Amino acid sequence: MNVKLLFFASHKRTAGISETSFELANAATVREAARLVELKFNLELAGSMVAVNDEYATPDMVLNPGDTLAFIPPVAGGEPSPDYFLVTGEALPITDLHAKLIRPGWGGQAMFTGSTRTPNKNLEILRLEYEAYPALCQNVMRDLALEARTRWELGAVVLAHRTGIVLPGEISIFVGAGSAHRRACLDAVPWLVDEAKSRLPVWKLEVAESGERWVEGATSQPTL
């Protein structure tokens, strides 16, 4: 069977590639795959974590054809990141999200929430239906936070998006930043909102009394 391999950090440097396809025996375990990968790419994988299809996995997990297997070196030390990212089909926990922006050293917090409005363009909106690619959303959110930190001195970035049905007046997106001084978070949040709108793999179906339509989207990456 064929699986996709992903390498990061020191593993990527040693292997000389970031991803590749790899042939394994049917029903091979992660551990068995790791032994073969070590031989093929001259890697030492002892102590590494593994993920299968964007979720952490155990070495004894049985792989299936088409799985994506990632080998993850021990992550950098230091304090856990204060950033927080959420994609959920439940109502966004606004109070909890706000609380993640408050620490003694952060004197400023800025937030944006977006909700379903009606009417919109003279149409009475019954609901919005959001569909997302959650694993990719998490990665894009993380990239946005890292890029924001290159522009402003931020304590934390919190990004959350709701999926499923969102009724008029209900909140679908939360974007927040905390910083030592107010100007950094006040400047960062509008940029994060605009970039999230164009980069997050989230699609919006607008359901009105007169019918439904997919809201025209943006593309931030090369297209077919």
Average pLDDT over residues 199-215: 92
Using pLDDT thresholds of 50, 70 and 90, give the confidence band for residue 79.
Answer: low
Residue 40's nearest CA partner among 13, 15, 11 is 15
Query: Is the full-model pTM beyond 0.85?
Result: no
Whether residue 179 is predicted with pLDDT greater than 60 in this model: the reply is yes
**Top CATH class, 84-214:** alpha beta
User: For the purposes of burial, counting CB atoms within 10 Å of the CB of 116, is it exposed (0-12), middle (13-18) or buried (19 or more)?
Assistant: buried
Q: Does residue 4 carry a pLDDT above 90?
A: yes
CA distances from 168 to 115, 204, 210, 217 (A): 7, 14, 16, 20
Give all strands (DSSP E) within the chain, no chain letters. Answer: 2-7, 19-23, 49-52, 55-57, 68-72, 84-88, 108-115, 125-132, 156-162, 164-166, 171-179, 202-208, 211-214
Domain boundaries, the chain: 2-72, 84-214
Extract the tokens encoding 71.
């080998």
CA distances from 124 to 74, 127, 168 (A): 52, 9, 10
Side chain identity at 163, as an amino acid letter? T
Closest CA to 187 of 160, 153, 158: 153
Confirm or reject CATH 3.10.20.30 for domain 2-72, answering yes or no. Answer: yes
Using pLDDT thresholds of 50, 70 and 90, give the confidence band for residue 14.
confident
Percent of the chain with pLDDT over 90: 72
Pairing relationship of beta strands 55-57 and 125-132 according to DSSP bridges: unpaired
